[in-house]
Amino acid sequence: MQNKETMLIVLKLLGSIALLIYGMKVMSEALQKMAGPGLRHLLGAMTTNRLSGVATGALVTVAVQSSAATTVMTVSFVNAALLTLSQAISIIMGANIGTTMSAWIMSAGFSFNVTNLVWPAFFIGIILIQLGKHRYIGDFLFGLSFLLFALGMLRQTGIEMDLGNKPEVVNFFASFDSGSYLTILLFLLIGTILTCIAQSSAALMAITMVLCSTGAISIYQGIALVMGENIGTTLTANLAAMSANTQARRAAMAHLLFNVFGVLWVLAVFYPFVRLVCRIVGLDPEAGAVEQTRLTFALATFHTGFNVINTALLIGFIPQIEKIVCKIVKPKKNEEEDEFRLQYIKTGIMKTPEISILQAQKEIVVFGEKMEKMYQLVNELYSASDERFLKLFERIKKYEDLSDRMENEIGRYLGEVSDSHLSDDSKEKIRSMIRQIGELESVGDSFYNIARILRRKHDNKIVFTKTQDEGANEMISLAGAALHQMNVTLGGKRDEQSLTLSQELENKINARRFALKQQNLENLDKREYSYDSGNVFNDLVTECEKTGDYIMNVVEARLGASRTSMNPAAVK
């Protein structure tokens, strides 16, 4: 009978923790859906300085009730170059403060029976979900209800466990001397490992409160577990950043360093600091029988104090933290040049519209340079060995994604600038730039299409004849020459540039396209190579010609020209 009761209590404990994690997840996801894309703009617009970055991180984390969600979202924005590394560090600092709200909610849940609040929340939530109009609010209420219900179950299970009156449990934890730093380090390590495994600092905080409130462990051991949870929770962001770019991995590493530094200074003043926290909540840490509410409040107070003081200590050293993580996390080979990072456009409050337009044009020049790098990879792919082919193809695919993101971000920025009061000349420049980035994105798509054609050739083991090789190389080289001239035009002063060179290259591309396609038909009739080989060659020539068209469109957009204003003979 005793064994059955023990098993039931263990199952209730595990089930309550699972329900707590699920409730936090549902509530967090519902809040994020309600916020929608506004979160990205909030993070960008409110991180103009360190203090606003910290405040933003704290507010967003309180709103979504998940520091993991905020840090992972921040890392993903750094990966997409929507946030700088220094902005991300300040947001992560704020997220550590915001996450302490969860500890206070749990502390309140252990202070009184919150399950009575659950039933009306469930009822209202299901109505809102069924109506559909306010579904996300209903999802949030369901998540909150699960969370409160789990806290109530944990509180009740803790009472039933009565660990403080079980000699074997008391003696086990009593064997660890709370006055020894070795014990504190051991519990810190346990907290770190368990949080890494559970991937939820909230769940471990709940377990810590159960153990403390039932008298199984001392407040010193409980706070050591909380410190370990602060380190373990950084694993989420680091895992999210593993497949991301260098800047994203650096942001995740900054999160780890921030929390490790906090743990180190707390360890240096551990016992005085814990006694100060206990004094604030009116708790005697040396007393045998302690009121349950004060213990949970002491844990929540420590959690908040730890993160607030840690942020106050480090907020002035964000540039130094940035330098340290840059030294620790080195870019992988080729990654620095492949990653997407806006160099001139900064998120946040803009300067004058004229300066903003200049920044956007500089960013378009960088866009063009990225496309020239993509071309070099495509050119290399044509004659790449089997071992190198797939790696090159994947890099080209990344550049295609990069071109999409650059178009979106520069376009969004230009849209914000266009909302200002602009002169007619400035409006015309914005229209021109919007057309430029659209055509540059098409250049990226076209290069990726060429890479896909070459992959088809590679996978089907098609070998071109000498004639085909010469024709393909000529078309690819002409596209490269046109792209280089396009970048000269983008980087120079508008009134000093001319369409002439670009138009000559465009005419050459068109003429060679026509000649090579005719030659291909004749060679197929003569059975000089297979139909599959001829088809791949034809597609490659056609796509190179399309690339030339997109490149020419960029030049025309930059110079304010159009095909109808050019020599009719030059128009296809």
Digit-by-digit pLDDT tens for the chain (572 residues) are 456 666 776 777 677 777 766 776 676 667 556 655 555 555 555 556 677 778 877 877 776 656 666 776 676 667 655 667 788 888 888 888 887 877 777 776 666 555 666 777 777 878 887 776 677 778 777 777 776 677 667 666 655 655 555 566 556 666 677 778 888 898 888 888 877 776 667 667 777 877 777 777 788 888 888 888 888 877 766 776 666 667 778 888 888 888 899 899 989 898 888 888 888 887 776 665 555 567 778 888 888 888 899 999 988 888 898 889 888 887 765 555 555 556 666 544 344 566 677 778 888 998 999 999 999 999 999 988 888 899 899 989 989 988 888 888 888 888 877 776 677 788 888 899 999 999 999 999 999 999 999 999 999 999 999 999 999 999 999 999 999 999 999 888 877 788 889 999 999 999 999 999 999 999 999 899 999 999 999 999 999 999 999 999 999 999 886 544 444 344 33
CA distance 53 to 55: 5
All structural domains of the chain with their residue ranges: 2-328, 353-570
Contact 325, 78 (CB under 8 A): no
Structure tokens of 199? Answer: 């991937």
3-state secondary structure of 166: coil
Superfamily of domain 353-570: Phosphate transport system protein phou homolog 2; domain 2 (1.20.58.220)
Query: Tens of pLDDT along 79-116?
Result: 655 667 788 888 888 888 887 877 777 776 666 555 66
CA distance 253 to 329: 8
Class of residue 392 by CB neighbours under 10 A (exposed 0-12, middle 13-18, buried 19+):
buried
3-state secondary structure of 83: coil
CA distance 380 to 454: 11
Instruction: Calculate the dihedral angle through the C-alpha atoms of 500, 506, 510, 513, rounding to the nearest 10 degrees.
Output: 140
Q: Is the pTM of this model over 0.75?
A: no
CA distance 255 to 235: 9
Phi, psi of 209 (to 5 degrees): -65, -35
Residues for the chain: how many in total?
Answer: 572
Which is it for the CA torsion 51, 52, 55, 57, positive or negative?
Answer: negative
CA distance 278 to 331: 45
CA distance 90 to 371: 33
**Going by C-beta distance under 8 Å and a sequence separation of 6 or more, which residues neighbour residue 463?**
533
